Amino acid sequence: MFRFENENYLYGLLIIPFFILGYILLYYVTKKRWRHFGDEALVNRLMPLRSVPAQTVKFSLLMAALACFIFTLANPQVGSALEKGMRKGVDIMIALDISNSMLAEDIQPNRLEASKIALSRFIDQLKGDRIGLVVFAGKSFVQLPITSDYAAAKMFVNFVSPKLMNEQGTDIASAIDLAAVSMLPEVKDGNADLNKISQLNSKVILVVSDGEDHFPQAVEVAAQVRKLGVTIHTIGIGDVRGVPIPDGRSNSFKKDLEGNTVITRLNEDVLKEIAATGGGVYVHASNANMGFETILEKINNMNKVDLQEITFSRYESKYQFPLLIGLFFLLLEAFWFSVKLRWREWLKISV
């Protein structure tokens, strides 16, 4: 198996065509200048040692050396062996509120965008844990099943928007229920796998919301999920004093049917009660601290179990090969003259 450890360096190869284009333009500009001195055949006779092919070979050697050094920086690697190991960690299902109230700008740039930025940083700090994403408003759905692919998780987090939901509202109960179901072990013959049930103490649901819950069952569902051993943490987004919700137009806010500006307020009480019932903690997010560090600390202190067996390749770096080839091209270019060598002329005379 072959790969490059630092693939981003390969973009450096894109500068080589620009060098080639510059060399070609310089050749024609120089040729045009020589014509001002007189007839081209006469100029060539006055400079018998001048050699365009030799100059082109020197330039080609430099470009080949540059390409080899770029490959060296990218560090080509070859898979030398397959190894097996166990991934230890915690299953984390994020329940992210994407209702219109999350567009309020009491946290910059707004509640939802600030949450997405903080979530991406949170994912970057995970080590061995698996993560999934449930988004909710009036309804909820699984945006990303539980996975250890952190790059995919960040991509799906960045993609979420209130436009994904046709039905507005804030149904936290539905989100918690769906998040728990997506993490629970399969049931066979009416009985859950007891071995998997014993690992439920390594499962976490993190609710990120402004708490404006229009459905009263959230605490009841949290209690049922907690009985299965799943811990529920909550992060409250927004200001308890209330702010208007932008409607997407400049300096304009959402209004109700009577023409009054809609005000959204953080409902800490429901989020605190959900966290207390779910055996977790509640954190109030602000511009200075979104609270994910506190949740991460709690998760890192949990009992981490074997989540899955993983197979991966051990790679050996082979950067030495392009490095040596590049140095060879560089030395060859240094000893390659850009003029016709006299021994060539002597050879022609002798022949």
pLDDT tens, position by position, 178-236: 999 988 755 344 444 445 544 555 899 999 999 887 667 899 999 999 998 899 999 99
Task: Please tell me the distance from the alpha carbon of residue 248 to that of residue 250, in angstroms, as a whole number.
Answer: 7
Mean pLDDT of the chain: 82
Look up the pTM and report it.
0.63
Q: Which has the minimum average pLDDT: 2-11, 83-92, 235-244?
A: 83-92
The two structure tokens encoding residue 230 = 């799943």
The DSSP line for 283-331 is EEE-SS--SHHHHHHHHHTS--EEEEEEEEEEEEE-THHHHHHHHHHHH
Q: What is the pLDDT of residues 114-126, one digit of tens each?
A: 999 999 999 999 9
Task: Please tell me the distance from the alpha carbon of residue 233 to that of residue 298, in angstroms, as a whole number.
Answer: 9
The two structure tokens encoding residue 55 = 């100059």
Q: Which has the minimum average pLDDT: 52-56, 126-130, 322-326?
A: 52-56
Higher pLDDT, 21 or 30: 21
The contacts of residue 87 (CB under 8 Å, 6+ apart) are 128, 148, 306, 307, 308, 309, 310
Task: Please tell me the distance from the alpha carbon of residue 293 to that of residue 183, in angstroms, as a whole number.
Answer: 23
Q: What is the pLDDT of residues 247-257, one digit of tens each?
A: 766 677 777 77
Q: For position 151, what pLDDT does the model report?
A: 87
Cα–Cα distances (Å) from 265 to 63, 102, 187, 211, 238, in that order, read 62, 10, 40, 8, 7
Q: For position 192, what pLDDT does the model report?
A: 47
Contact 233, 292 (CB under 8 A): no
Q: For position 351, what pLDDT does the model report?
A: 33
The number of beta carbons lying within 10 Å of the beta carbon of residue 309 is 9
The two structure tokens encoding residue 271 = 């989020």
pLDDT band at 54 (very low <50, low <70, confident <90, very high): confident
pLDDT of 160 over the 50 cut: yes
Average pLDDT over residues 105-121: 92
Higher pLDDT, 292 or 342: 292
What percentage of residues in the chain have a pLDDT greater than 90?
A: 42
Average pLDDT over residues 87-107: 90
pLDDT of 163 over the 70 cut: yes
